[in-house]
Amino acid sequence: MNILLVEDDTALALGVEYALKKEGFHIEVCKCLSEARNALRGEIDLILLDVMLPDGQGYDFCREVRVISDMPIIFMTALEDEGNVVLGLDIGGDDYITKPVRIGELISRINAVMRRRRAIEDSKLQKAGRKIVSGAIEVEPLKCKVFVDKKEVLLTPIEYKLLILLIENRNNILTRNTLLERLWDAEGNFVETNTLNVYIRRLREKIETDLNTVRYIETVRGIGYRWKEEVEDGGII
Averaged pLDDT, 216-234: 86
Task: Decide if pLDDT at 220 tops 60.
Answer: yes
- Provide the pLDDT confidence category of residue 16 given band limits of 50, 70 and 90: very high
Q: What is the CATH number of domain 2-118?
A: 3.40.50.2300
Helix (H, G, I), strand (E, B) or coil at 120: helix
Task: Decide if pLDDT at 184 tops 80.
Answer: no
What's the pLDDT at 109? Answer: 92
* Average pLDDT along the chain: 86
Kind of pairing between the strands at 132-134 and 137-140: antiparallel
CB proximity list for 101: less than 8 A, separation 6 or greater: 12, 16, 76
| % of the chain beyond a pLDDT of 70 | 89
Do 110 and 45 meet the contact criterion of CB atoms below 8 Å apart?
Answer: no
Task: Decide if pLDDT at 142 tops 60.
Answer: yes
Top-tier CATH class for 130-235: mainly alpha
Q: Could you state, in order of their start, the residue ranges of all structural domains in the chain?
A: 2-118, 130-235
Kind of pairing between the strands at 73-77 and 46-49: parallel
State the alpha helices, DSSP H only, in 25-71: 33-39, 58-68
Equal CATH topology for 2-118 and 130-235:
no
Task: Decide if pLDDT at 188 tops 50.
Answer: no
A 10 A CB-CB count for 181 gives 14
Q: What angle do CA 236, 151, 134 make, to 5 degrees?
A: 30
What's the pLDDT at 152? Answer: 94
Tens of pLDDT, residue by residue over 61-81, are 999 999 888 899 999 999 888
Long-range pairs, 149-153, Cβ under 8 A, ≥24: 149/209, 153/206, 153/207
Q: Which of 95-99, 166-170, 179-183 has the lowest mean pLDDT?
A: 179-183
Q: Tell me the pTM.
A: 0.55
What's the pLDDT at 105? Answer: 92
Q: Which helix or strand (DSSP H or E) is residue 108 part of?
A: helix 103-126
